[in-house]
Chains A and B, each alone.
Chain A
Amino acid sequence: MNHRLLKTFTLIMLSFALLLSMTACGQTTATTTAAPAAGETTAAPAATTAAPAEDVYIAVVSKGFQHQFWQTVYKGAQAAADELGVTITFEGPPSESDIQAQVQMLDSALAKKPVAIALAALSTESVTDQLNKALTAKIPVIGFDSGVPNAPAGSVYANASTDNKAAGALAAENVYPAIKDKLAAGTTDMPVVIAVLSQDAVGESVTNRTLGFVEKMAELVKAGGIAEVASVGHDKFKSGDEKTAKVLIDVGVSATTSATDIASAGTALLSKDNVVAIFGSNEAAANGILDASNEGVDLASKGILAVGFDAGKRQKAAVSSGVFMGSITQDPYNIGYKAVELAFKAYKGESVADIDTGAKFYTKDNMTQPDIGQLLYD
């Protein structure tokens, strides 16, 4: 019996020896990456902060891990950590329904007494206890990506996320030069139509992207010499006088978020006269444009220029084949980078404010470049 006991323990101890050696490897890589950063002469200010920052540990808890989007966030976070000379851990649950896994990760992170936490919560309600604990322990929390909406007051110091309005405006800035010449043909009787397909007018991110596009486009058209511009389609996006408008920005809001309803809203927009361009303000809307246009064939025949948002498989294919002129993508690398940077600043006691992590316009020409390519998550 005794030797069996011994054998079992040997096995268990062996497995933990394995575990320990893996941790040891992890730690050496961490220190070796930190060492050259501190040694670099060019990084003089960074080096001075890196020296006392030996034990500075920031926990990053994300909403996912395997997904390419999160892997890019991770890359950005690690890059910031290397530059600042801090240690980070980056964890995320296997799927967005694994709330217990995320809470356990956050609990473990808090127990490790980090100097700051960066968090993209699956559900704010499920982590309220943990946020209050961080608040009491004066551990700053930085929200990233979708952040921690409605968190207990004072617990979240700042957010690193995409400014959706600015991202929508970026689409308008890229569409406008391409359609500028066609706009002059518009008359009061026969206005030129710029269509916008919006999945809904409820969700904050989608609404802001749509609004950002509509407002920026109206501004650009006016600046281009056509004062008679109006936007119609939904009260939230209404502006100008529809009756006298020579350029009409027509927002189609889908009845529900189901794919068929979005497609029929797209069909309604595309069947209007004089449509020169269409913008779909999220993944579903971009797919809706493809559904409504016979996978883009009708766009070409009618000479309609299309632009999407996000980077799903279908959308990326549409861009690379030239069916879409281009699309907007968020910048997950920058989300990760800024999250860690904000967390570090908050720990240092510097004042922090929400940061727009930006968006990028991609076309078939630049989507294969590495800096853009890594942002094109599925």
Chain B
Amino acid sequence: MNVLSKKPAAGEEMAKQGLAGNQRLYALVAMILIYILFAVFGRNFFSFETAVNILDASYYIGFLAIGVTFVIITGGIDLSIGTVAMCSAMIGGVAWEKWGLPFTAGLVLILVSGALFGLLNGTLVSRLKLPPFIATLGTMMVSLGISSIVSKVQTVNFPSRTSEEGWFKSVFSKVQLPSGAMLPTGAILLLAVLLIAFVVLNKTKIGRYTFAIGSNEEAVRLSGVNVVYWKTIPYIISGLCAGMAGIAYASTYTTVVPGAGQGFELDAIAGVVIGGTSLSGGVGSVFGTLIGVMIMSILRIGLPSMDLQPHYQKLFTGIVVIIAVLMDISQQKKR
């Protein structure tokens, strides 16, 4: 990576984006292939119902993955997103259920809490120069602890579909049409956030500096850019997205258990990697990330349709991740 970084930045970046584009294409084709495979061999897999289930299982991981894509492009990592998502959901849920706050205020609190955890990560990494792996590992444990403390180790139940706040499920997860079918509204939200993330990453200063820091942080610093500031932003975005993941989780699964969320970050990071974002930084795309997340979601729903235990999902996700990284490496070598 360092060798690459010394090459002229502009041309190299374009070439690298081209490579990421290739892998994105492979991922897309692989996703369609896997879907067709399940459709042929799975039990009742090819149905609208299953498609909705696949989307349902992808929301929380999807938001996490979109957010952490920013951090990974800077060459960093955020291991805290899973527990931060659940901790934020817990804080918002407790605020509504136990402290008597209005429900919408609880939702806002979830986003704020996620963003604050992101700010903490960003500060630790950019200002205090902690390695991202260690800093976010610490935050992971901190958020795990806070979620248990705030909830007093009690489960929090978000509103059910029939309750007064039932709109929550309709907006963030899915809404029941008069015909009885479920319309996946959460997917619309995920796509909207994806588009915003795409614009931020590719059309704004935030995105340009995110890529630049990932390619060559030293060069960015030497050109007089406030790296401490611009390196904090991706972590805040990641935290904010974790907050959204918390909301998505709560609306899809209703019950939030203290101490949950460990392992979600790895699913999200796997999605990012499958989507062609390089863990060494400087290369990446949020669309690729979404494809990666969808591949894992299809595996998660598809394997049981072939009467396979869900642990096989881990096995096959692992294989897909390894293939993705191998491709990333071989393409870097080729240059």
Contact: B180 with A104, CB < 8 Å?
Answer: no
- A111's partner among B29, B155, B305 (CB-CB below 8 A) is B305
Bound CA–CA A103/B300 (angstroms): 12
Contact: A112 with B43, CB < 8 Å?
Answer: yes
Instruction: Say if the beta carbon of B16 comes within 8 Å of chain A.
Output: no
Contact: B44 with A113, CB < 8 Å?
Answer: yes
Instruction: Say if the beta carbon of A125 comes within 8 Å of chain B.
Output: yes
Shortest distance in angstroms between B23's beta carbon and chain A's nearest beta carbon? 9
- B310's partner among A13, A27, A87, A105 (CB-CB below 8 A) is A105
Which B residues from 33 to 60 make CB contacts under 8 A with A? 33-34, 37, 41, 43-45, 47, 49-50, 53, 56-57, 60
Which size class do B's interface residues fall under? 35 or more
- A107's partner among B37, B43, B301, B327 (CB-CB below 8 A) is B301
Contact: B253 with A103, CB < 8 Å?
Answer: yes
Contact: B37 with A16, CB < 8 Å?
Answer: yes
Bound CA–CA A15/B310 (angstroms): 16
Contact: B257 with A111, CB < 8 Å?
Answer: no
Bound CA–CA A126/B260 (angstroms): 15
CB neighbours (8 Å) of B254 from chain A are: 123, 125-126, 128
CB neighbours (8 Å) of A19 from chain B are: 303, 306, 308, 312, 316
Contact: B255 with A99, CB < 8 Å?
Answer: yes
Contact: B306 with A105, CB < 8 Å?
Answer: no
Asked whether A101 and B316 contact (CB < 8 A) given A8-B30, A91-B304, A112-B305, the answer is no
Instruction: Say if the beta carbon of A100 comes within 8 Å of chain B.
Output: yes
Bound CA–CA A16/B36 (angstroms): 12
CB neighbours (8 Å) of B34 from chain A are: 12, 16
Instruction: Say if the beta carbon of A52 comes within 8 Å of chain B.
Output: no
Which B residues from 279 to 312 make CB contacts under 8 A with A? 300-301, 303-310, 312
Instruction: Say if the beta carbon of A32 comes within 8 Å of chain B.
Output: no
Instruction: Say if the beta carbon of A1 comes within 8 Å of chain B.
Output: yes
- A129's partner among B26, B44, B161 (CB-CB below 8 A) is B161
Contact: A111 with B53, CB < 8 Å?
Answer: yes
Bound CA–CA A109/B44 (angstroms): 10
Instruction: Say if the beta carbon of B234 comes within 8 Å of chain A.
Output: no
CB neighbours (8 Å) of B235 from chain A are: none
Contact: A111 with B49, CB < 8 Å?
Answer: yes
Contact: B160 with A101, CB < 8 Å?
Answer: no
Bound CA–CA A94/B260 (angstroms): 12
Q: Tell me the interface secondary structure of chain B in the complex.
A: helix
CB neighbours (8 Å) of B246 from chain A are: none
Interface string of A158-191 (1 = CB under 8 A from B): 0000000000000000000000000000000000
Closest to B300 in A: A104
Contact: B259 with A97, CB < 8 Å?
Answer: yes
Instruction: Say if the beta carbon of A370 comes within 8 Å of chain B.
Output: no
Shortest distance in angstroms between A14's beta carbon and chain B's nearest beta carbon? 9
CB neighbours (8 Å) of A49 from chain B are: none
CB neighbours (8 Å) of A97 from chain B are: 257-260
CB neighbours (8 Å) of B309 from chain A are: 65, 91
Q: How many A-B residue pairs have CB under 8 A?
A: 117
Contact: A108 with B260, CB < 8 Å?
Answer: no
- A103's partner among B26, B50, B252, B257 (CB-CB below 8 A) is B252
Instruction: Say if the beta carbon of A223 comes within 8 Å of chain B.
Output: no
Contact: B307 with A23, CB < 8 Å?
Answer: yes
Contact: A123 with B157, CB < 8 Å?
Answer: yes
Which size class do A's interface residues fall under? 35 or more
Interface-centre pick from B22, B29, B304, B320 (highest chain A CB count, 10 A): B304
Contact: A128 with B160, CB < 8 Å?
Answer: yes
CB neighbours (8 Å) of B161 from chain A are: 128-129
Bound CA–CA A125/B310 (angstroms): 23
CB neighbours (8 Å) of A153 from chain B are: none
Closest to A98 in B: B260
Contact: B160 with A125, CB < 8 Å?
Answer: yes
Shortest distance in angstroms between A186's beta carbon and chain B's nearest beta carbon? 44
CB neighbours (8 Å) of B160 from chain A are: 125, 128
Instruction: Say if the beta carbon of B249 comes within 8 Å of chain A.
Output: yes
Interface string of A9-30 (1 = CB under 8 A from B): 1011101100110110011000
Instruction: Say if the beta carbon of A89 comes within 8 Å of chain B.
Output: yes
Instruction: Say if the beta carbon of A116 comes within 8 Å of chain B.
Output: no
Instruction: Say if the beta carbon of A136 comes within 8 Å of chain B.
Output: yes
Instruction: Say if the beta carbon of B192 comes within 8 Å of chain A.
Output: no
Contact: A109 with B260, CB < 8 Å?
Answer: no
Shortest distance in angstroms between A236's beta carbon and chain B's nearest beta carbon? 24
Shortest distance in angstroms between B290's beta carbon and chain A's nearest beta carbon? 19
Closest to A101 in B: B310
CB neighbours (8 Å) of A202 from chain B are: none
CB neighbours (8 Å) of B14 from chain A are: none
Asked whether A108 and B252 contact (CB < 8 A) given A1-B22, A20-B41, A97-B260, the answer is no
Bound CA–CA A27/B307 (angstroms): 9
Instruction: Say if the beta carbon of B9 comes within 8 Å of chain A.
Output: no
Instruction: Say if the beta carbon of A284 comes within 8 Å of chain B.
Output: no
Q: Report, nearest first, the 3 A-B pairs whose CB atoms are least far apart.
A: A123-B255, A108-B304, A126-B255
Residues of A within 8 A of B (CB): 1, 4-5, 8-9, 11-13, 15-16, 19-20, 22-23, 26-27, 57, 65, 87, 89, 91, 96-101, 103-105, 107-113, 122-123, 125-126, 128-129, 136
Residues of B within 8 A of A (CB): 22, 26, 29-30, 33-34, 37, 41, 43-45, 47, 49-50, 53, 56-57, 60, 155, 157-158, 160-161, 169, 180, 249, 252-260, 300-301, 303-310, 312, 316, 319-320, 323, 327, 330
**Additional 19 contacts, C-beta under 8 A, given A1-B22, A23-B41, A104-B56:** A8-B26, A12-B320, A15-B316, A19-B308, A22-B308, A23-B306, A23-B308, A27-B307, A91-B304, A97-B260, A99-B253, A100-B57, A100-B249, A103-B252, A104-B301, A108-B305, A112-B305, A126-B255, A129-B169
Can you list 28 contacts pairing A with B, beta carbon distance less than 8 Å? A5-B26, A8-B323, A8-B327, A9-B30, A9-B33, A15-B316, A16-B37, A19-B316, A22-B308, A23-B41, A23-B307, A91-B310, A96-B257, A99-B255, A99-B260, A100-B57, A100-B249, A100-B253, A105-B304, A107-B53, A107-B56, A110-B49, A111-B301, A125-B158, A125-B254, A126-B253, A128-B160, A128-B161
